[in-house]
Copies of this chain bind each other. A is one copy, B any other.
Amino acid sequence: MKSCWIDGQPATGLPVDDRGLAYGDGLFETIKVVRGKPQLLERHLQRLDEGCRRLAIPLDLPLVRAELLAFCGELDTGVAKLTVTRGAGRRGYAPPHPCSPRRLLLGSSLPAYPVQNGQTGVRLFPCATRLAEQPLLAGLKHLNRLEQVLARAEWQDSAYAEGLMRDSSGRVIEGVFSNLFIVRDGVLLTAALQRCGVAGVMRAELIECAQQLGVAVVERDLTYEELLAADEVLLCNSLYGIWPVVALAGHTWPVGVLTRKLQAAIADLSSVS
């Protein structure tokens, strides 16, 4: 299953002068779609809107929303990848004034992750690729993703479902395609994202969920030692929800009580949405 719309019309090719290709000058959202309904829709649109604001890409949010909903209706169940680029450009980095951002929608089937990932937990590969520290781009789901490409290329062994990414100072940040949380003494902690990392929509959802369950959530710098000393470790993203982490480089963690509680809360949520 592969369908594609560009600017609301079925399309197969992106104009070759698009700045999304030339410079990675754009943003994307990877959205789970169940029976025509995009999950966590408002969070995805809000992050996209915020990203466009930070990159000074003018976004027609009502139009994006309408196109996305129509696209998801046709897709029914699967993944809708929504990309917004700054659109066509002449040669050179200077953003065109005025610019006409381009909207791409690409449909695919749901990824076939092993169901055990969520049940018995996953092993993390310790990626050597570090995340560079760039406050101007931190948190954004932009199209400059070579670090993730390099990190994901570090392992082929399917025994590792994800990889751990640290920043160039060694802080624990996230997975290659997931956010990471640790639990210590009943508190849920996740990396602050001022210097690098992606502010995932499931990360935001999970933080709110935990707070509603009465769990304290702290966003701050996390050391590798804190990760190793954690009571529980978990990963999340908008497609698979939550995976417990049970092993990394010789260290092991149990699948914890709070992880199970959060999985249940997330599952309840998607059954009512």
The answer to the question of A272 belonging to the interface, with a C-beta cut-off of 8 Å to chain B, is no
Q: Does A115 make an interface contact (CB < 8 A)?
A: no
A134, B146: Cα distance in complex, Å:
11
Within 8 A of B (CB), among A69-109: 79, 81, 83, 85-86, 90-95, 104, 106, 108
A2 at the interface (CB under 8 A from B): yes
A93 with B152: in contact, given A16-B104, A133-B132, A168-B133 (CB under 8 Å)? yes
Complex Cα gap A2–B18 (Å): 13
Smallest CB gap from A163: residue in B: B93
B93/A176 in contact, CB under 8 A: yes
Are the C-beta atoms of A95 and B14 separated by less than 8 Å?
no
Asked whether, in the complex, the Cβ of B132 is within 8 Å of the Cβ of A150, the reply is no
Is the Cβ of B22 less than 8 Å from the Cβ of A95?
A: no
Chain B residue with the shortest CB-CB distance to A106:
B16
Contacting A16 at CB < 8 Å: which of B4, B19, B147? B4
Q: How far is the CA of A136 from the CA of B93 in the complex (A)?
A: 23
Docked complex Cα distance between A91 and B90 (Å): 29
Q: Which residues of A contact B (CB under 8 A)?
A: 2, 4, 6, 11-25, 28, 30, 55-56, 79, 81, 83, 85-86, 90-95, 104, 106, 108, 111, 129-130, 132-134, 136-137, 142-153, 168, 176-177
Contact partner, A13, options B13, B94, B142, B149, Cβ 8 Å: B13
Evaluate whether A91 and B104 lie within 8 angstroms (CB atoms) in the complex, with A11-B16, A18-B21, A137-B146 already known. no
Residues of B within 8 A of A2 (CB): 17
**Residues of B contacting A149 in the complex (Cβ-Cβ under 8 angstroms):** 19, 23, 25, 55, 86, 93, 95
User: Which B residues lie within 8 Å of A136 (CB)?
Assistant: 129-130, 147, 150
Can you list 24 A-B contacts with CB-CB less than 8 angstroms, sorted by A residue number? A2-B17, A12-B13, A13-B14, A14-B16, A14-B21, A16-B104, A21-B143, A22-B83, A23-B146, A23-B149, A55-B146, A55-B150, A56-B153, A81-B91, A90-B108, A91-B111, A93-B176, A94-B153, A129-B136, A130-B136, A132-B133, A132-B134, A136-B150, A142-B146
